[in-house]
Amino acid sequence: MDVHANRHPSLPRPIVGKMDLTNSNRLLAEAKRLVPGLTQTMMKKPEMFAPGSFPVYLARGQGALVEDVDGQQYIDYICGLGANSLGHNHPAVVDTIRRHLEDGLLHSLPTAWEVSAARTLVEMIPGAEMARFFKTGADATSAAVRLARYVTGKEHLITVGYNGWHDHFMYDTPGVPAVLAQYTTRMPLFEEPDEAALLARIEQTGSQLAAVLLSVPFNRSLTREFMHKLRATCTAHGVLLIQDEVITGFRLAPGGAQQFFDVKADFVCLSKAIAAGMPLSAVAGPEKFLSKLADLQVSTTFGGELLSLAVCEAVLKVSREPGFTEHLANLGRRLATGINARAERVGSPLRILGYDAIPLFRFSKNPVENAKLTQPFQAGMARRGILLRRDLNFICAAHTVEQIDYTVEMAEEVMRECLQQAPAPSAA
């Protein structure tokens, strides 16, 4: 199959000759002087990709295509780290902003959008009766932790997965008081034996435990059976189950992971796809818990910024349309099935794991080896007009079958290239 001939309009323009990084490198040099850590989130740093063979700065996007500052196009599977659930420049976002921009951004009193967006959100989330809005996922998870401690009268937490950068989650990083490590236990769910360990920990420490804050692992799909055991164990020991749906919200099912697993959390944290790229997050749940937020010093000036709330309402209406999450899953399944089959054919260790709409690319279970093997793959894919993270990637509503199939074809080509370039094993 000659995928370079008669290119479909949804495919990127071919990169002719050597990849041009002139403007990316110029901006990078300036950022080193001006921006601590080079950018605003660690997951966008150049070292997370293929330095020297990968664009550093993007300029614009349309649908599932993006263009870098040097004018080269790519199919985007990074999708704003999962926030761009509808793709770039979607009418639900752009038209809503245009329509309401003249109304202002932030008013001196609440706006009607705080009410209508909350109404739309609780209609979608199983068990939700109230919602509070914030700006980042870490805002939402931190508010949820404070709420859990207040309503249970207990202070300790179990966290699963990445739940944000705030002190009670990243207690083992510089700048955080050592005493906070006493209050949080971080536990994995990367392997099936981890499930029994988590349940046992809840049983052992339930009398001191306020909540389990769960962001599902993405290298494997948890079973409904386990999720129901987790729910029952938390309930038996008076522990709240908080579902961190910053990533999974509106991707696995219209009602999120709760609907996908058919399990009821006590409350949920949402961000990213909640407003398809606009800065917004939320905590949602039943009135018996969420009403208690009014007793706490949980407050944010920008939670009521009206454009993000208006976009949220428009985006949620798209996300709950029949077939929306099935479309994401079907495309993701096509990508994973295609690449995994090609990987087996050529003898590459690459496998796509996890949930259909949130494909995780993995060459090795060892993080250091995985990074080493992934970098040349990322570089080769970028050279062919495809942007990928080294682990978690995303399907958005704007991706097309043509883009998925092109990605599969290019993945085989790059895997073969990587295998040919790999150093020969040393003699015994």
pLDDT tens digits, residue range 13-32? 999 989 999 999 999 999 99
Judgement on whether residues 42 and 95 belong to the same structural domain of the protein: no
Judgement on whether residues 342 and 381 belong to the same structural domain of the protein: yes
Residue 423: pLDDT band (50, 70, 90) is low
Residue 6 covered by a domain: no
| Number of domains composing the chain | 2
Question: In sequence order, which residues have a C-beta less than 8 Å from that of residue 87 and are 6 or more positions away?
Answer: 61, 62, 63, 64, 79, 396, 397, 398, 399
CATH number, domain at 207? 3.40.640.10
**3-state secondary structure (DSSP) of residue 361:** strand
Judgement on whether residues 163 and 215 belong to the same structural domain of the protein: yes
- pLDDT digit string, tens, across residues 216-238: 999 999 999 999 999 999 999 99
Domain boundary among 319, 338, 358: 319
Judgement on whether residues 100 and 70 belong to the same structural domain of the protein: no
Is residue 64 within 8 Å of residue 76, measured between CB atoms? yes
Tokens describing residue 417: 């290239």
Judgement on whether residues 115 and 128 belong to the same structural domain of the protein: yes
pLDDT at 6 over 90: no
Residue of 382, 366, 362, 365 lying closest to 374 (CA atoms): 362
- Return the residue matching tokens 């290019």: 410
- pLDDT digit string, tens, across residues 171-190: 999 999 999 999 999 999 99
Residue 230 covered by a domain: yes
- pLDDT digit string, tens, across residues 74-101: 999 999 999 999 999 999 999 999 999 9
Q: Is the pTM of this model over 0.85?
A: yes
pLDDT at 1 over 50: no
- pLDDT digit string, tens, across residues 36-68: 999 999 899 999 999 999 999 999 999 999 999
Domain extent for 270: 91-319
Judgement on whether residues 275 and 155 belong to the same structural domain of the protein: yes
Judgement on whether residues 206 and 315 belong to the same structural domain of the protein: yes
Q: Round to whole Å and give the CA distance between 75 and 399.
A: 8
CATH number, domain at 377? 3.90.1150.10
Judgement on whether residues 227 and 330 belong to the same structural domain of the protein: no
Residue of 273, 286, 415 lying closest to 341 (CA atoms): 415
Judgement on whether residues 149 and 280 belong to the same structural domain of the protein: yes
- pLDDT digit string, tens, across residues 380-399: 999 999 999 999 999 999 99
pLDDT at 288 over 50: yes
Residue 163 covered by a domain: yes
Give the pLDDT score at 7.
57
Q: Determine the average pLDDT of the residues in 110-125.
A: 96
Judgement on whether residues 182 and 309 belong to the same structural domain of the protein: yes
Judgement on whether residues 340 and 293 belong to the same structural domain of the protein: no
Ordered alpha helix ranges (H), 237-297: 257-261, 287-290
Residue 422: pLDDT band (50, 70, 90) is confident
Residue 428 covered by a domain: no
Judgement on whether residues 48 and 99 belong to the same structural domain of the protein: no
Residue 424: pLDDT band (50, 70, 90) is very low
